[in-house]
Amino acid sequence: MITERAMLAAVHISIWTAVKHDRKVSRDVAHQHGAHDSAGRYNKQLLRGAEKLEALRILAGQIRQYFYKITLPWSDEGYRLLPAHFYFEFTTQMREFERAFSQSVDDFLEVYPSYIEQVRPELNGLFRAEDYPSAEKLRAKFGVKLEVLPIPTGEDFRVTLSEEEQARVAREIDESVRQSLKRGTRDLWVRLTDVLTHMVNKLSDPESRFHASLVTNVFDLVDLLPRLNVNQDEDLNRFAAEIKDRLCNFSAHDLKKNEILRVATASDAAQILSQMDAILRGREQELAESNDKSTRQNAPSVDDIFSHMSPYMEAATP
Residue type, 106: D
**pLDDT band per the 50, 70, 90 thresholds, residue 289:** confident
Rounded Cα distance between 282 and 73, Å, is: 23
pLDDT at 170: 64
pLDDT at 161: 52
Q: For the chain, what is the largest distance between any 2 Cα atoms, rounded to a whole number of angstroms? A: 96
Q: Is the dihedral of CA 42, 46, 49, 52 positive or negative?
A: negative
pLDDT at 112: 97
- Inter-axis angle of helices 259-298 and 234-247, nearest 10: 170
Q: Which residues contact 138 (CB under 8 A, 6 or more apart)?
A: 16, 109, 112
Among 34-38, 63-67, 229-233, the range scoring the smallest mean pLDDT is 34-38
The answer to whether the CB of 174 falls within 8 A of the CB of 47 is no
pLDDT at 39: 85
Among 20-29, 161-170, 209-218, the range scoring the smallest mean pLDDT is 161-170
In the DSSP assignment, the letter for residue 126 is G
pLDDT at 172: 72
pLDDT at 286: 81
pLDDT at 302: 47
45: pLDDT strictly greater than 60: yes
**pLDDT band per the 50, 70, 90 thresholds, residue 22:** confident
Phi first, then psi, for residue 14 (nearest 5°) are: -120, 140
The answer to whether the CB of 230 falls within 8 A of the CB of 5 is yes
Mean pLDDT within 295-302: 53
Q: What percent of the chain has pLDDT over 70?
A: 85
Closest CA to 25 of 42, 10, 1: 42
- Check residues 174 and 46 and name the one with the higher pLDDT: 46
pLDDT digits 0-9 by tens, 168-224: 666 776 787 788 888 899 999 999 999 999 999 999 998 889 999 999 999 999 999
- Inter-axis angle of helices 213-228 and 163-204, nearest 10: 160
292: pLDDT strictly greater than 90: no
Q: Where are the alpha helices (DSSP H) in the chain?
A: 2-5, 23-32, 51-69, 87-123, 135-139, 163-204, 213-228, 234-247, 252-257, 259-298, 302-316
**pLDDT band per the 50, 70, 90 thresholds, residue 62:** very high
- Check residues 123 and 40 and name the one with the higher pLDDT: 123
pLDDT at 162: 60
Rounded Cα distance between 120 and 127, Å, is: 6
* Averaged confidence pLDDT in the chain: 87
pLDDT digits 0-9 by tens, 133-160: 999 999 999 999 999 988 877 555 455 5
Closest CA to 247 of 284, 203, 299: 203
**pLDDT band per the 50, 70, 90 thresholds, residue 167:** low
Q: What percent of the chain has pLDDT over 90?
A: 65
pLDDT digits 0-9 by tens, 72-82: 998 777 899 99
pLDDT digits 0-9 by tens, 110-138: 999 999 999 999 999 999 999 999 999 99
